[in-house]
Amino acid sequence: MGMNKNTVLAWATFIMILVGLALIALGAFRYDDVAGWGFASVGIGFFAIAWVFNALKGRV
């Protein structure tokens, strides 16, 4: 069974949510200085891109 466009977007969304959570966790628990804010903001950016991928399912 091959992967169609919607399956690829679903996997990309899932992976980006995992990476976003990992980046936010790094920012919250690993780095206590300004770098933590950078990691957390990039993690939130990953959530935004994952949201766009999820919205594109069924439209591309």
- The residue ranges of every structural domain in the chain are 5-56
pLDDT at 32: 85
Q: Residue 58 and residue 60: Cα distance in Å, rounded?
A: 6
User: What is residue 19's predicted lDDT score, i.e. its pLDDT?
Assistant: 95
- Residues 6 and 58 sit within 8 Å (Cβ to Cβ): yes
Q: What is the pLDDT of residue 52?
A: 92
- pLDDT string in tens for the chain (60-residue length): 678 888 888 899 999 999 999 999 999 999 888 999 999 999 999 999 999 988 888 777
Residue 7 in tokens: 């399956």
